[in-house]
Structure 1
Amino acid sequence: MTTDLTAFAHGIFDAQPFSKFLGAELTDVGPDSAEIRVRVRPELLQQHGFVHGGVLSYLADNALTFAGGLALGGDALTAEYKVNYAKPATGEVVIARARALVTTRRQAVCQCSIYAVSPEGEERLVAVAQGTIVTAGGRAQES
């Protein structure tokens, strides 16, 4: 992992207000991969005490987009993604690990696994996702 790639990825991540709101951390990046973590706290749980599906969906979306964006070499957007919730997420931390499987000039098909981490550090697969990430065409913002 190069310093330039890491700095580039962290610059984008640090500019995301919603990621800051959730307390998310970009913990690892590669040329076609990303890892994002969220520490579980009471505000992120649903009525049964499990991590809310919206938090897991956020992790999938953002990790997929980072992996695809890095593989595409720059600014990227999610065109579509699907999440399969496999088990209830409980624990201290949830982690999304994504990687680009197939990359063309304009899009990357990416896969993500989401794990819940117990207090003892044991990781348990709780959701999987797949998505298509597309180049943003260099536009910083749309009205």
Structure 2
Amino acid sequence: MDIPDLAFAQKVLAAQPFSVLLGARITAFGDGQATLELDIQDELRQQNGVLHGGVLGYAADNALTFAAGAVAGAGVITSGFTIDYLRPADGRTLRAHARVVRAGRTRVVCRCDLSTIDAEGSQTLCAVAQGTIAIT
């Protein structure tokens, strides 16, 4: 099995129209980890002015699956995930950092920390997720 590299992961992300619409980018990939980032734009906020939870869910889902792909190869798909919102997400950038907890023959379990980054570069943890990724 060929394990993809960062360039391959970036190409996969670029082939996802929704990811392109959000301006998502893979900033780190390999060794059972992946980091996905996107700029927090006003169009992604909910009525109270903070980042919509669906955007956090998207980022967790994709980061979890990319982390699994870093150990299992390109043939992976999300089987399911849970997310816990810890505090409202606000800032300049959303960062989803996922890592493999355990890789099996047919499933990979991963965790993801979702943080916002403000203009000064300070990170604030706003959600955590755990997912099971199926190997196809």
SS in 1 for 2:87: coil
User: Helix, strand or coil for the counterpart of 2:5?
Assistant: helix
Q: Distance in 2 between matches of 1:11 and 1:22?
A: 15
Q: Kindly state the Cα deviation for residue 107 of structure 1 after the two structures are TM-superposed.
A: 1.0
Determine the C-alpha separation between the residues in 2 that align with 1:105 and 1:8. Answer: 22
Q: Which residue of 2 aligns with 1:84?
A: 84
Question: Quick check: 66-75 or 98-107, which moved more?
Answer: 66-75
Q: Per-residue deviation at 1:31?
A: 2.7
SS in 1 for 2:66: helix
Shift of 1:44: 0.3
Which residue of the partner structure matches residue 17 of structure 2? 17
Deviates more, 1:4-13 or 1:98-107: 4-13
2:10 partner amino acid: H
Cα deviation digits, residues 33-63 of structure 1 (max 9, x gap): 1000110111000011100000000000000
Farther off after superposition, 5-14 or 90-99 = 5-14
What is the alpha-carbon distance in structure 1 between the residues aligned to residue 7 and residue 91 of structure 2?
30
User: What corresponds to 1:103 in structure 2?
Assistant: 103
Bigger shift: residues 27-36 or 4-13: 4-13
User: Per-residue displacement from partner, 1:47-96 (whole Å, max 9, x unpaired)?
Assistant: 11100000000000000000012211222100000000000001001100
CA distance in structure 2 between the partners assigned to 1:8 and 1:31 by the alignment: 14
Consecutive unaligned residues in structure 1, runs of 5 or more: 137-143
CA distance in 1, matches of 2:33, 2:17: 22
The whole-number CA distance in structure 2 between the counterparts of 1:12 and 1:133 is 16
Q: Percent identity?
A: 43
Q: Does the CA contact (< 8 Å) of 2:10 and 2:25 recur in 1? A: no
> Match of 2:127, as an amino acid?
A
- TM-score when scaled to structure 2? 0.94
- How far 1:132 moved relative to its partner? 0.2
- Tell me which amino acid in the other structure corresponds to 1:82: T
Which amino acid is the alignment partner of residue 57 of structure 2? S
Do residues 70 (structure 1) and 73 (structure 2) align? no
RMSD of the TM alignment (CA)? 0.9
